[in-house]
Structure 1
Amino acid sequence: MSFLGVENKIFVVFGLANKKSVACAIARTLVEEGAEVIHVVRSEERAVNARKLFPASPVFICDVEDEHNIIRVRDEIGAAIGVAKGKRIDGIVHSIAFANYSDGMKPFHETRKDDFLQAINVSCFSFISIANHFKQLLAKDGSMVTITISTTRMAAENYGYMAPIKAALDSSLCFLAKSFAEFSRVRFNAVAPGLLKTSASAGIPGYIDSYLFAEKATLRKKALETREVADTAAFLLSARASGINCQTIVIDAGMAVNYFDKEIVTKAVQ
């Protein structure tokens, strides 16, 4: 029997793009533990990838930028799992983020309003909207987990306006948990990884240099692995984490305490 106790439970994973995605790693962990995983992806192209990676899992398409799509996919999933017969979703993963870097990086104060509002709609509001529209499909003691970043208080130029948006995502956890507490025991938590080697992160200007620096800044001198993030997310989705609510769990291999790493300091002053 699985320690997590997720055998035969149903989880919906939003956000798989390819095999390097955090969403993919989370789904793999859940499947390995005996869970049933339903994928929701942005496009038909990504649906093809999802079906290749998880041939036994249903795949649905939903571009969360349009809220009507969230309502539609909720109805499609509800019909597919048999909500009318009492079936419920045990957990939802929100692994979705978008920022428009097509014009290159600009100073933060030059952030375009339309870019900022699009990013907050896709990266933050979609989590709130999914919670709202899927609330009748969730088990009373279900769990929702989103993917954020290890800190929103470090002003990295190449991450730009996404840090304030992730801060808004973090803040939404407690408000969602509080409002859901009126009618359920659904928990809302976030996994906050340090720098990862994913295809999404590769689109951030200058990311590779930041990634290599982060590897040196961890206590173990070894980069964070996507699987480590996925395992924490799977734990938060499970009943084993029933006492954890409104929390952002940082996974950075100790980088946050290692600002004055001797090796980095030595190279900086030479």
Structure 2
Amino acid sequence: MSFLNLENKRILVMGVANRKSVAWATTKALEEAGAEVIHSVRSEARLESLQKLLGDRKAYICDVELPEQITALAEQVKADYGALDGIVHSIAFANYSEGFKPFHETVRKDFLQATSISAFSLVEVANAFKPILNEEASVVSIGISSTDVTAENYGYMAPIKAALETCSYNLAKSFGADTRVRFNTVNAGPLKTSASAGIPGYLESYLYAEKLTFRKQNLTTQEVANTAVFLLSSASSGINGQGIVVNAGMDRNYFDKEVVRLAMRPE
């Protein structure tokens, strides 16, 4: 038995977008630890685009914006596998239908849609899969480490990611009434992903974040995935209802002398 004890465990990973995504890095790390990974993706088109990447891995289609598809996914997994040892929720979506705006101008329908997909879907997934989660299963969501920081170029997603964290904590309490299923979030610092590439000004924020890390090197997707794998394993059995910050110390280094020097440099 290994330290992680993930051999022959079955994990559902939701949200693989491409080979740069946290979900894919988590898949590879789980498989290296001996786990069997199955997937769900949002559409037939996404599944086709991932065909080469996923190979012969089992993959289902589930658009979490549609509750009936979540229910159907749970039923399909139950029919095919019977039970799960864990779920990775790596799903986020934001439709800036009118472009990026100041937060007070957020479009209601965009905010509600993004909340439904990025946060409340965790609740619906947990509810649908509760009957087939093994007694000590683990559910891990991928969040961000800066939900309490205002970032102009992140729009309304920071409060929605905060909602995801809160949903996770409350699910831990709710499930705790009659199971030992755990819920935790991995709160990651800025990453180089395909999704982040579409955020205006993200590169500047990414480079700034790097200067704030203690090691002067930004987080890697693999480091986030490794934390998720640890939380899925029995090695983390004492961790429940938590948000694990993984950002190389970025949030502890606001007064780094180099950053202060650059900020105070005369125009």
TM-score (norm 1): 0.95
Residue 184 of structure 2 corresponds to residue 189 of structure 1: yes
Provide the aligned C-alpha RMSD in A.
Answer: 1.1
Pick the aligned partner of 2:111 from 109, 116, 119.
Answer: 116
For 1:91 and 1:50, the matched residues in 2 are separated by 22
Aligned position for 2:43: 43
**Residues 51 and 59 in structure 1, CA contact (< 8 A), matched pair in contact too:** no
For 1:175 and 1:264, the matched residues in 2 are separated by 38
Aligned position for 1:265: 260
What number of residue pairs does the alignment pair up?
265
Residue 244 of structure 2 corresponds to residue 244 of structure 1: no
**Residues 17 and 46 in structure 2, CA contact (< 8 A), matched pair in contact too:** yes
Fraction of identical pairs, as percent: 58
Residue 187 of structure 2 corresponds to residue 203 of structure 1: no
**Residues 158 and 205 in structure 1, CA contact (< 8 A), matched pair in contact too:** yes
Aligned position for 2:52: 52
Pick the aligned partner of 2:139 from 141, 144, 152.
Answer: 144
Aligned position for 2:230: 235
Instruction: Give the counterpart letter for 2:167 in structure 1.
Output: S
Q: Which moved more, 1:128-137 or 1:55-64?
A: 55-64
For 2:133 and 2:245, the matched residues in 1 are separated by 26
Instruction: Give the counterpart letter for 1:138 in structure 2.
Output: L
Query: 1:103 deviation in Å?
Result: 2.7
Query: 1:1-270 alignment to 2 at 5 Å?
Result: 1-81=1-81, 83=82, 88-270=83-265
Instruction: Give the counterpart letter for 1:186 in structure 2.
Output: V
**Residues 18 and 46 in structure 1, CA contact (< 8 A), matched pair in contact too:** no
Query: 1:257 deviation in Å?
Result: 0.9
Q: Which moved more, 1:22-31 or 1:210-219?
A: 210-219
SS of residue in 1 equivalent to 2:131: coil
Post-superposition Cα deviations, 1:200-221, rounded to whole Å, max 9, x if no partner, equal 1112221111111111111111
TM-score (norm 2): 0.96
Q: Which moved more, 1:131-140 or 1:1-10?
A: 1-10
For 1:212 and 1:206, the matched residues in 2 are separated by 10
Query: 1:49 deviation in Å?
Result: 4.2
Q: CA 1:49 to 1:231, structure 2 compared with 1: closer, same or farther past 3 Å?
A: farther
**Residues 14 and 93 in structure 1, CA contact (< 8 A), matched pair in contact too:** yes
For 1:174 and 1:147, the matched residues in 2 are separated by 13
Query: 1:102 deviation in Å?
Result: 4.2
**Residues 85 and 138 in structure 2, CA contact (< 8 A), matched pair in contact too:** yes
Shift >4 Å, 4+ stretches? none
For 2:50 and 2:139, the matched residues in 1 are separated by 21
For 1:22 and 1:12, the matched residues in 2 are separated by 14
Post-superposition Cα deviations, 1:206-242, rounded to whole Å, max 9, x if no partner, equal 1111111111111111110000000000000011111
